[in-house]
Amino acid sequence: MRYLCSGESHGPQLTAIIEGVPAGLLLTEEMINKDLKLRQQGYGRGDRMKIESDQVQITSGVRHGMTLGSPITLVIKNKDNKNWSEVMAIEPIPSLEYDIKKVPRPGHADLVGAMKYGHRDLRNVLERSSARETAIRVAVGAVAKQILAALGIEVLSHVLQIGKVSIGETHLSFDEIKEAIQDSPVRCVDPIVSAKMCAHIDDAKKQGDSVGGIVQVLAKNVPPALGTYVQFDRKLDAKIAAAFIGVQSVKGVYFGDAMLSSSSFGSEVHDQIAYDQGFIRTSNHYGGFEGGMTNGMPLVVHAMIKPIPTLYQPLNSIHIETKKVEKSMIERSDSCVVPAAGIVLESVLAMELAREILEEFGSNQMSNLVEAMNRHRQAMRDF
């Protein structure tokens, strides 16, 4: 299974084409729209979220609510495009009366992207490098989630830290976390810490600043032996780490208790093996992975997210034409994207798991894939 996506932040639309989804999967636009709505929520989002109300349109690959096995096309219209018709026009325009961006933001793709592609208007870079692109990735991930759901696998994200406010690790179960974050605007399981996180975001916003944080992404009921140890680039945890880093603002990824493990004795962190109607681990310090393969424990992946580069009290930069010091440009943005980033990372994890499963058990029909997964689970229990 693979996909390509396209589109600019203020262009007409975002588009993705997914190939390799088996036939016979129940899929509707509403299933995808639920995740798109979650991505737009979260304390600290900017004014763009008041303009957009993301709704997907499925334009191919699905008939009467069922996938056909042919490529699936997803489209999300950018409502804000109507306000950018001249700036983002496809055809040549007679005049350039709009503001041409010439002062790059520290921490953004603006400058290096312009250097790479030879652009003298930084908007040619920022439109595609913008995190607006993650909307279509959430839509793609929602399709992957439906594949996983048919196989009894579920993914979930929650926030551990925003700026200097941290809850630390939580020992709640998957279902307890799912329930606890329902009423939190920052998707944090502790209501007291949640309120402190919101206050910290407010402080940053008042100062024209932004804050990052840490998200934990979980997957339950993942069978053992997905991935392989035989080649470095086929290890599943390596694929997931690469996919996470590919999300805007993610600057670090680690699995399980990696931070603790790096400073502990091996005897304290290796997950001991036991047997109870199949092989199990008595702990999960390594986040469900051993040797690049799933070991049957829940997957636990952390993403460290930097603050958004657009600041309303901008940092110093250099004008690309005059080479003089100027304040970096201001582009409408958020104060904090950490809760929303969690939804994006859920989608990324779902896509990587679904892709790995289809590679392992390749099937053109969902019914055959379900049967193959059931046989695999039984074989793992009988080993």
Residue numbers belonging to the annotated binding site for NADP(+): 39, 45
Q: 181-216 burial string, b = 16+ CB within 10 Å, else e?
A: beebbbbbbbeebbebbbebbeebbeeebbbbbbbb
Walk across the sheet containing 56-60 and list its strands. 2-6, 13-19, 72-77, 56-60
Task: Output the CA angle 56-62-65, nearest 5 degrees.
Answer: 85
Contacts for 297 with CB less than 8 Å, ≥ 6 apart: 271, 280, 281, 284, 287, 288
Round to whole Å and give the CA distance between 311 and 307.
9
Given a contact cutoff of 8 angstroms between Cβ atoms, the answer to whether 108 and 315 are in contact is no
Residue 157 near residue 345, CB atoms below 8 Å: yes
CB-side exposure of 124: number of CA atoms within 13 Å? Answer: 14
| Residues placed in the known binding site | 39, 45, 128-130, 248-249, 291, 306-310, 332
How close are the terminal C-alpha atoms of the chain, in Å? 29
DSSP string for residues in 241-252? HHHHHTSTTEEE
Pairing of strands 165-166, 72-77: unpaired
Residue 286 has φ and ψ, to the nearest 5°, of -95, 10
- Tokens representing 318 are 């250099």
What is the maximal distance between C-alpha atoms in the chain? 73
Residues of the binding site for FMN: 128-130, 248-249, 291, 306-310, 332
Residue 73's DSSP bridge partners are: 17, 60
SS3 for 83? Answer: helix
Spatial neighbors of 97 by CB under 8 A, at least 6 apart, are 86
| Eight-class DSSP state of 46 | -
